[in-house]
Structure 1
């Protein structure tokens, strides 16, 4: 990168910062921001997830992921608020894939075959009540592609967390409709 293009980038970033600071002086925002966390109660890996387009991390089977900034929610909670959760699962996250002849990375054909089993999911979820502050939006992925969310400042697995399901849940043979 030449000095001139680096300088242009710095000017652009400085301009963006000024716009953001100017926005702060316009009064109270209509939205609250909080961390976006996920808890995976299943044996599948969560390759990624998002809430209304705000991206979350990948989560290992029966694991946690989070601290991603930010989930934006309306400052005032109202009954009936809903949002869209999208996620992709890898039902066989511990598969041993054939390696490249060099030994570095999986064989492309083996990886493509594995990736063909990834599953995409969407759920529309009701937003639970929250006060005038948001610590985090915690998304729980349960068996049968069910989703629960919490806006509590008590993170799972705290006894004060509103979500009580165990971390290692078994998949049902037949999921309820």
Structure 2
């Protein structure tokens, strides 16, 4: 009986230590909602940044919805990267009534034209506050990440130029 008590006490002690270490590790991380801005005529059906999912984005939409939560180190370090993955619908217009038989038939064919992308991009320097992981989908399948606390309407918003971007008729080969 005493051996089981000793073993149980050791197991609880080890579990407590692991929990304490996990809490300390989390103090080195910040959570931030994920937001997206689509600067293209395609729909972004789904996307993620460092594994955290963001909202679906219609053509030339974004900023309205945030999804919780992405994670970043509390302190920025030079060379930090984000992995962004997304699925794009190049022709998001529909003539059929949603979920009708005609729509379902069209959708089966339409989904075959979705394309998937993966990019590793720089995370710009941030201070002690990270208000959101903002992902900007740009023409020619380019993507950028921002961590600013400002919104696009604010004069100090650092990514205002993205909203002036126009889609090219042809994209350079990468």
| Normalised-by-shorter TM-score class | 0.7 to 0.9
What's 1:71 paired with? Answer: 70
What's 1:50 paired with? Answer: 48
Q: CA RMSD in A?
A: 2.5
1:110 aligned counterpart, secondary structure: helix
Structure 2: stretches of 5+ with no match in the other structure: 1-15
Q: What is the CA distance between 1:156 and its match in structure 2?
A: 2.0
TM-score by length of 2: 0.78
Residues 168, 105 of structure 1: alpha-carbon distance in 2 compared, 3 angstrom cutoff: farther
Residues 95, 84 of structure 1: alpha-carbon distance in 2 compared, 3 angstrom cutoff: same
Q: What is the CA distance between 1:170 and its match in structure 2?
A: 3.3
- Give the whole-Å Cα distance in 1 for the aligned partners of 2:61 and 2:154: 15
> Which one has a bigger Cα radius of gyration?
2
What's 1:59 paired with? Answer: 57
2:105 aligned counterpart, secondary structure: helix
Instruction: Confirm or deny: 8 A CA contact 2:82 2:145 kept in the other structure.
Output: no
Count, aligned residues: 154
Instruction: Confirm or deny: 8 A CA contact 2:33 2:70 kept in the other structure.
Output: yes
What's 1:126 paired with? Answer: 122
TM-score by length of 1: 0.77
Structure 1: stretches of 5+ with no match in the other structure: 1-18
2:157 aligned counterpart, secondary structure: coil
Instruction: Confirm or deny: 8 A CA contact 1:98 1:107 kept in the other structure.
Output: yes
Instruction: Confirm or deny: 8 A CA contact 2:138 2:162 kept in the other structure.
Output: no
1:30-83 residue CA offsets vs partner (Å, 9 max, x unmatched): 110111100000011110100111111101111114311011001111010111
Residues 68, 105 of structure 1: alpha-carbon distance in 2 compared, 3 angstrom cutoff: farther
What's 1:143 paired with? Answer: 139
